[in-house]
Chain A
Amino acid sequence: MKSAVFEYALAGSLDEAVELLAQHGPEAKVLAGGQSLVPMMAMRLARPSWLVNVNEIAALKGCAPGTGEASGCWVTGAGLRQVDAERHAGLAAGVPLIAQGLRWVGHVQTKNRGTVGGSLVHADPSAELPLVARVLDAGLVLRRRAGSRVVAAAQFFDAPFVTAVEPDECLAEIRWPVWTGGRIGSAFEEVSIRHGDYAIVAACAQVALDEQGRCLRAVLGVGGASGTPIAVEPVASALAGTRLDESDIEAAAAAVGGHLDPTGDVHASVEYRLHLARVLCARVLRAARDRALRA
């Protein structure tokens, strides 16, 4: 469990980091919290020739309401520690799903190191933050030497552990849409074998209700049941106009499976994952509705 030989660079700024990526491109990996990358390197499953450490870059640790083209969003730096995101009162008020999802991530010790951006770029199909980003359709700002571009989460996750990030790009910040209008509630739930494990299946939902309790807007997503986190948009949009009563929710949950493509392993079969997706989608819709009604 010693990693293969690599060169190491501690980037002092984002400019320096992307300069290094421009030079070493496909051979390089960005080191953020290292909670996935370092064990993979130790097992020699990942063998970058260059490691670009971005942990010292202060500009990657921001957490504030967006301005300009990011207005209407909360903006978190890619290097923001997960623990800091989870405990940020403003972020929790603006985008509560982030903290709700982070509750299920690893343990305090891993969240002290793990970063928001690292989890997104790692793109484990069972991970919590990619699911939240996908369901809310967050904007991911990718920096390269020549400039930057914004990729919507819907276009970001390509396959297990594969994203739209090009070899010379570094995720700089994430723009999380803040919902306004109506009474808003959200919920995240998952089944993992032990607390802190990657989910067997995870689900999250966010709804906005009008004063009469009628659904104005809903989003719903499932992790761990396909190669990427899935936002079941047709199912969620069909909830608009309903009162999210038990039959609405059961119908939505039952329809989710058709959008998923799970695989089986020693811990969970295909049938089990599909079943959990249905159960968890119903639970998060109920919980999100109830929170919205209390809002």
Chain B
Amino acid sequence: MAEKTSPYGFRYIGAKRRTKEDPRFVTGRGRYAADVQLHGMLHVAIVASPYPSARIRSIDAQAARAAPGVHYVLTGEELCSQIDSLYIGVDAPKVKRYPLARDVVRYAGEWVVAVVAETRAQAEDAAELVEVDYESLPCVVDPEEAIRPDAVQVHPDHGGNVLFHRRFVWGEVDEAFARAQHRLSFRARWGRSATVPIETFVALAQWDAGNEIMDVWASIQMPKFPEQLARALRMPANAMRVHFDVDVGGSYGVKRGIKHTLLVCWLARRLGRPVRFLEDRLENMRGGDMHGPDRIFDMQVAFDGDGIVRAWKIRALDDVGAYAGRSPLQLGKPVSAICGPYRIPAVEYEPISVMTHKTPQEAVRGFGQSPTNFAMECTMDRVARFLGMDRVELRRRNLIRHDEFPYRIPSGTTYDSGDYHAVLDKALAAADYPALLERREAARRAGRLAGIGVSTCLEPSGGNSSFEPLFNPKNETTTWMDSCLVRVDLNGTITGVMGTSSSGQGHQTLVSTVLGEIFERDPSGIRVVHADSLNALPSNSPVGSRMAIMLGGAAAGAARRIRDNLMAIAAHNLGVAASDLEYRNGDISVAGQPDRLLTWDQLVEIAHRKYHCMPPGMEPGLQAQFVWEVPTGGTLPTADGQVQMYPCYSFEVHVVYVEIDPDTGKPDLQRYVVGHDCGVMINPDIVHGMTCGGVAHGVGAALYEKFSFSDEGQLLAGTFMDYLIPSSLEVPAIDIVDHCTPSPLTTFGQKGSGEAGYLGGPAGIACAINDALAPVGAAIAQTPMSHLALWSLIQAPRDAGQRAA
């Protein structure tokens, strides 16, 4: 296969190379948690609540217990008394959460009883026989109603439904609003959607009674997973062995599964048999707790006649559903980029996290940033429309200039680097923007609704946890380290060991490329494995678009330590100072004297066998570990909520051309260009794949996907018949143009890219749709922009026009 050379002057980094993982995925050789088959394995099915809010009067499980193949029927009453409540991201100790409901249910689909049987089919048969007597209670499903003091309470012990509410004011916001020539305000709504991976959640646990170790195979992507499990199970964390070496079939945030795993761990220990829970799609969609942000934004913006934005105020009301996990923190990440890529000196941000009787929310790609970017970009377009100014020109005037980096934003974070104007220009050139404008005009002349959207959005990356102390003063987390262990064995082959799972991000490619770069050895021969949690160095898992930065940096750090040792061994044996040596392809020679050489194999042999040739005091063998703190991490927020959030800021421009059938409201994305700058790309194919997938995800969120609920709290989109994921026929061809502004903070200049495409996609599509609607005097600021919603908007002015005529 052709290997193109790196555009950055590296040997392997940035070169087009085949990924390590993809061949096994496309040939059906992946090994997922559901592929792990243990002897004597039992299966779980769930009895879920049909009510969004009810008291459990009684549970009659007699018939289920007597059903064929059934081993156990577990109720919340029994389970909850023996485990501790799950971890919550904010300070709300009375919001207790267990895998099974006890006494009351708080959303339709909440797990009430777990049935364990020889087969999943038997477990489902028996689950139908469980009789639960419910007393239906009032429910609250509207977040605006839920924040009222007199609202029905989801957790009465907590006192109100609000989990978190704070008003941050950074800079002279009110003064800016008073002085600015113009002000605008509007409301934007982000509908509840998620990533919905093909693989639902899977958890398998086996209690090793001899060693008193709980072995877990689960499809997870989650920081602190073994520790949280152990704490809830009241077990020592070193009795929890999570096997990170299973392939995870998609996640982008949602594969938390802590309640699933807790359940099977408890059952495995109780029953002395391995127990698996493989969620089916129905269980996943309503009870898997994987819905994403569900937000109402009230936006206010102050600006002058020249288009310069002086300040904005963002109030974000987020409906997290019936329980708090990490979700309230999902309002925190946007603090890291609260003025977007713009030079806005004063910002007010009022995040409110509220509970309702709905399926709980979990982290979804971008951790709340894509909804916020959507609201910000709708704001910028409205400012332009108000002023009659070209939307691209408006952005050019407000974008932070290349020479202003590093740039400190009002909320206390410094953006590392960027060249936003250059990326914007590149994207517009790639889209042939003037031709696109002509195409739009021609379409409009022909009576069609046509529009162009241009969004300019940030991707905060390198995830640290600064939102944790910001949203919970009792939490003083200031590090979100990641680690790598590197070994060179006696035979001279290299192995990188990572301490977390992968859910399609290509970490094996990442680590092998980085190790190859440092060692100057071919990455294709470098193996990368996942330690289990008892063997692993600290990791905070691949969340927050962080692994290229954090795992990449840790792998490079460990490799450099080994390389330094090799240099020391060579210096000792060649009798010169290390500074007089040259390292080339793993061989080391005296500078200018290529025949005074020790080869890779010779150096490795000295390290592993010939202690008498080692420099005095050096540790034998060739291994090193590196635990890396997040760049710019390590500090707590100030009293007014200023904090350095994510270290690195990738940037993306979406140029979208849409036509809407005026008679049916059907949108058709006809041209899609992304300009993207994530610094140095370690593997361009992986970055481009992430970006294409992110755009597809954004198309779904923007136009199709929504977990709709009825006014009575019933999920109306519990299958793929109603939760509409775009297929390849709805996602347009995507052109990506790259730009590289290296980060000064990272090992090779890389930034994160795991959220690329998704963070600016819905914003860009919304801008295009609104441009298309402009000629009929309509505007939309909600997702999904469904056919029905678009048709209703197109129709309304027509009806009004007919009435006027």
Chain A residues with a Cβ under 8 A of chain B: 1-5, 43-44, 107, 191, 193-197, 200, 266-269, 272, 275-276, 279
CB-CB under 8 A for A194 and B729, given A1-B282, A4-B125, A267-B722: yes
C-alpha gap A252/B602 in the complex (Å): 89
Contact at B124–A196, with CB atoms within 8 Å? no
Which of B119, B663, B716, B726 gathers most chain A CB within 10 Å? B663
| A279 surroundings in chain B (CB, below 8 A) | 663-664
Contact at A196–B664, with CB atoms within 8 Å? no
Contact at A195–B727, with CB atoms within 8 Å? yes
C-alpha gap A284/B730 in the complex (Å): 23
Contact at B716–A2, with CB atoms within 8 Å? no
Which of A4, A5, A194, A196 gathers most chain B CB within 10 Å? A194
Give A51 Cβ to nearest chain B Cβ, in Å.
15
Q: Which residue of A lies closest to B279 (CB)?
A: A1
Contact at A43–B788, with CB atoms within 8 Å? no
| B717 surroundings in chain A (CB, below 8 A) | 266
> Interface size class for chain B?
20 to 34
Contact at B726–A275, with CB atoms within 8 Å? no
Known: A194-B724, A267-B788. 16 other contacts (CB 8 A): A1-B282, A2-B119, A2-B120, A3-B121, A44-B124, A44-B128, A191-B664, A191-B666, A194-B726, A194-B730, A200-B787, A266-B717, A267-B722, A272-B665, A272-B787, A279-B663
Contact partner of B786 (CB less than 8 A), chosen from A44, A195, A267, A275, is A267
Q: Which residue of A lies closest to B280 (CB)?
A: A1
CB-CB under 8 A for A269 and B788, given A2-B121, A194-B704: yes
| B795 surroundings in chain A (CB, below 8 A) | 275
Give A250 Cβ to nearest chain B Cβ, in Å.
13
| A107 surroundings in chain B (CB, below 8 A) | 727
| B281 surroundings in chain A (CB, below 8 A) | 1
- B238 at the A interface (CB under 8 A): no
CB-CB under 8 A for A193 and B724, given A1-B280, A276-B664: yes
CB-CB under 8 A for A2 and B663, given A194-B729, A196-B727, A267-B786: no
Give the number of A-B contacts (CB < 8 Å). Answer: 59
- B181 at the A interface (CB under 8 A): no
Chain A interface, DSSP helix/strand/loop, else mixed: loop
C-alpha gap A107/B729 in the complex (Å): 10
Contact at B792–A272, with CB atoms within 8 Å? yes
Contact partner of A195 (CB less than 8 A), chosen from B729, B787, B788, B791, is B729
Contact at B788–A272, with CB atoms within 8 Å? yes
Contact at A193–B664, with CB atoms within 8 Å? no
C-alpha gap A268/B791 in the complex (Å): 10
Q: Which residue of A lies closest to B664 (CB)?
A: A191
Q: Which residue of A lies closest to B729 (CB)?
A: A195
Q: Which of B648-685 contact A (CB under 8 A)?
A: 663-666
26 cross-chain CB contacts under 8 A: A1-B280, A2-B124, A5-B125, A43-B282, A191-B664, A191-B666, A191-B787, A193-B724, A194-B704, A194-B724, A194-B727, A196-B729, A266-B706, A266-B708, A267-B722, A267-B787, A268-B787, A268-B788, A269-B788, A269-B792, A272-B787, A272-B792, A275-B791, A275-B795, A276-B664, A279-B664
| B722 surroundings in chain A (CB, below 8 A) | 266-267
| A3 surroundings in chain B (CB, below 8 A) | 121
4 nearest A-B pairs in the assembled complex, by CB-CB distance: A2-B121, A1-B280, A195-B729, A279-B663
C-alpha gap A3/B724 in the complex (Å): 24
Contact at A266–B716, with CB atoms within 8 Å? yes
Q: Which residue of A lies closest to B728 (CB)?
A: A195
C-alpha gap A267/B788 in the complex (Å): 6
Give B567 Cβ to nearest chain A Cβ, in Å.
57
Contact partner of B724 (CB less than 8 A), chosen from A5, A197, A275, is A197
| B704 surroundings in chain A (CB, below 8 A) | 193-194
Q: Which residue of A lies closest to B718 (CB)?
A: A43
| A275 surroundings in chain B (CB, below 8 A) | 791, 795
C-alpha gap A276/B662 in the complex (Å): 11
| A269 surroundings in chain B (CB, below 8 A) | 788, 792
Q: Which of B261-288 contact A (CB under 8 A)?
A: 280-282
Q: Which residue of A lies closest to B43 (CB)?
A: A2
C-alpha gap A52/B788 in the complex (Å): 41
C-alpha gap A266/B718 in the complex (Å): 13
Contact at B730–A195, with CB atoms within 8 Å? yes
| B726 surroundings in chain A (CB, below 8 A) | 194
Q: Which residue of A lies closest to B709 (CB)?
A: A266
C-alpha gap A275/B792 in the complex (Å): 11
C-alpha gap A266/B714 in the complex (Å): 13
C-alpha gap A236/B786 in the complex (Å): 32
C-alpha gap A4/B123 in the complex (Å): 11
| A191 surroundings in chain B (CB, below 8 A) | 664, 666, 787
Give A52 Cβ to nearest chain B Cβ, in Å.
21
C-alpha gap A193/B661 in the complex (Å): 13
C-alpha gap A196/B725 in the complex (Å): 12
C-alpha gap A295/B154 in the complex (Å): 67
C-alpha gap A266/B704 in the complex (Å): 12
Which of A1, A4, A269, A276 gathers most chain B CB within 10 Å? A1
Give B713 Cβ to nearest chain A Cβ, in Å.
15
Q: Which of B704-746 contact A (CB under 8 A)?
A: 704, 706, 708, 716-717, 719, 722, 724, 726-727, 729-730
Give A264 Cβ to nearest chain B Cβ, in Å.
9
Give A35 Cβ to nearest chain B Cβ, in Å.
12
C-alpha gap A44/B282 in the complex (Å): 11
Quick one: CB contact mask for B112-130 with A, threshold 8 Å, 1 for yes?
Answer: 0000000111001100100
Give B280 Cβ to nearest chain A Cβ, in Å.
4
Q: Which of B749-805 contact A (CB under 8 A)?
A: 786-788, 791-792, 795
| A1 surroundings in chain B (CB, below 8 A) | 280-282
| B787 surroundings in chain A (CB, below 8 A) | 191, 193, 200, 267-268, 272
C-alpha gap A44/B706 in the complex (Å): 24
